[in-house]
Amino acid sequence: HFQGVCQVVDRLLEIVHPNRIYMGQKDYQQCQVVQRLLHLTNRDQLEMITVPTIREEDGLAMSSRNMRLNNSQRAKAPALYKTLVLAKASIQLHPLTEIKQKAVAALTAEGFAVDYFEIADATALLPSTDSSQKLVALVAASLDDIRLIDNLPLN
């Protein structure tokens, strides 16, 4: 997936030559991959602006996929963000492995099929167990056939 994103972004930048590129924080991993692409292709002068995630009133990250949710799924979907918020509140209180386990259990109890709930180094995106690092919580989970993603910087 990210290789395809890089190919498309690289080609677009070859054609357009912008001064800035705007990326939505909702797909945090994609933002980091594109930032790395800019560095590797000597486009460090190109300013990448990460736009904050826009959320519904109940915290669900806005996405075109939300329109596919039926009423029952839509009622469950905000649990994704609530779980991220609970992880952030727990960051100094519990080991990161315990936070991840509790998050997966909570989402599973809400009816999600969890692809991953990871606490990672905010830049390298590698899993981390060190709460003193700059961290981000990343989640991908499905309600039936609808896959939702979200993230939250933790510190």
pLDDT in tens, 83-115: 999 999 999 899 999 999 999 999 999 999 999
| 1: pLDDT strictly greater than 70 | no
**Per-residue pLDDT, 5:** 87
- Residue 33 has phi, psi (to 5 degrees) of -65, -45
Local confidence band at 155 (pLDDT 50, 70, 90 cut-offs): confident
As a whole number, the mean pLDDT across the chain is 95
Q: Are 27 and 149 in contact, with CB atoms under 8 Å apart?
A: yes
Q: What is the pLDDT of residues 49-83, one digit of tens each?
A: 999 999 999 999 999 999 999 999 999 999 999 99
Q: How would you label 109-130 residue by residue, b for 16+ Cβ within 10 Å and e otherwise?
A: ebbbebeebbbbebeebeebee
- Which two tokens mark 92? 């100094």
